[in-house]
């Protein structure tokens, strides 16, 4: 008789324990989503923190502003004196001028940038050559598709001349390290007690990516 009571008591205790465990599991399952939701920080889209995070992501992906340097040489092909209508070629009277523009382009987007350029010019005439002048011509860059760029430059020359220079620039070859370009420019100059002039220049060079 005692053995039967002991066995029945064990079964009752086991049944109660099982029920308690099941109740604990059910309660834990019901509370788990609330607990997880409490751990996840919901940031409203209009909050400063959200905007800051979004800005950091955009900033990390943006390639601009970008600074690239370049080197080139430039040949004046023809110069027109506006007051007389006279054309003077670069290689007339055994005189030749060649320039070596170097500069930095600050690119703010795929469409716009700013260029800082210095051009030392060498003049050869009568069997001798000399450093003739240095030109500083900064300008805004308007960038288009297929590597074409229009640059509107101001011009300040140590020979006393000043003016502006529209430049039509085209990239014709690209590599991982450098891009090769060719440009035609129309230097318009005034000052230093000389007649106003309009020139045509050919420039060839490369930019460092």
Is pLDDT above 80 for 48?
Answer: no
Give the model's pLDDT for residue 36.
46
Residues 77 and 57 in one domain: no
Cα distances (angstroms) measured from residue 176 to each of 69, 107, 209: 15, 18, 7
pLDDT digits (tens, 9 = 90+) for 135-192: 999 999 999 999 999 999 999 999 999 999 999 999 999 999 999 999 999 999 999 9
Residues 191, 154: one domain? Answer: yes
Rounded to 5 degrees, φ, ψ at 32 are -60, -50
Domain end, chosen from 27, 61, 95, is at: 61
Query: Are residue 14 and residue 46 in the same domain, yes or no?
Result: yes
In total, how many domains does the chain have?
Answer: 2
- 150 and 50, same domain (yes or no): no
Same domain, 102 and 141: yes
pLDDT in the model for residue 91: 84
CATH code, domain carrying 190: 2.40.160.20
Q: What is the domain range of residue 22?
A: 2-61
For 63-109, give the DSSP string.
--SEEEEEEEEEEEEEEEETTTTEEEETTGGGEEEEE--EEEEEE-S
Domain check: are 57 and 72 in the same one?
no
Question: Residue 52 has what pLDDT?
Answer: 62
Please say if the pLDDT value at position 132 is more than 50. yes
The mean pLDDT of the chain is 84
- Shared domain for 17 and 94, answered yes or no, is no
What is the C-alpha separation between 180 and 184, in angstroms, rounded? Answer: 14
On whether both 17 and 118 belong to a single domain, the answer is no
For 28, phi and psi rounded to 5 degrees?
A: -65, -40
Q: Are residues 111 and 12 in the same domain?
A: no
Answer yes or no: are the C-beta atoms of 167 and 200 closer than 8 Å: no
């Amino acid at each position: 008789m005692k053995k039967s009571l002991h066995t029945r008591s064990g079964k009752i205790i086991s049944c109660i324990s099982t029920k308690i465990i099941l109740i604990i599991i059910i309660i834990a399952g019901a509370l788990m989503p609330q607990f997880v939701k409490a751990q996840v920080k919901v940031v409203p889209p209009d909050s400063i923190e959200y905007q800051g995070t979004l800005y950091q992501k955009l900033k990390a992906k943006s390639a601009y502003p970008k600074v690239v340097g370049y080197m080139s040489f430039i040949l004046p092909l023809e110069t027109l004196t506006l007051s007389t209508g006279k054309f003077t070629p670069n290689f007339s009277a055994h005189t030749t001028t060649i320039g070596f523009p170097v500069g930095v382009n600050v690119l703010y987007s795929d469409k716009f940038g700013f260029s800082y350029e210095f051009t030392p010019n060498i003049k050869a005439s009568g069997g001798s050559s000399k450093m003739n002048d240095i030109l500083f011509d900064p300008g805004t860059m308007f960038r288009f598709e297929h590597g074409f760029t229009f640059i509107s430059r101001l011009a300040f020359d140590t020979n006393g001349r000043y003016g502006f220079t529209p430049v039509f620039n085209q990239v014709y070859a690209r590599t991982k390290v450098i891009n090769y370009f060719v440009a035609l420019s129309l230097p318009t100059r005034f000052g230093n007690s000389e007649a106003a002039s309009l020139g045509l220049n050919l420039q060839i060079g490369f930019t460092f990516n």
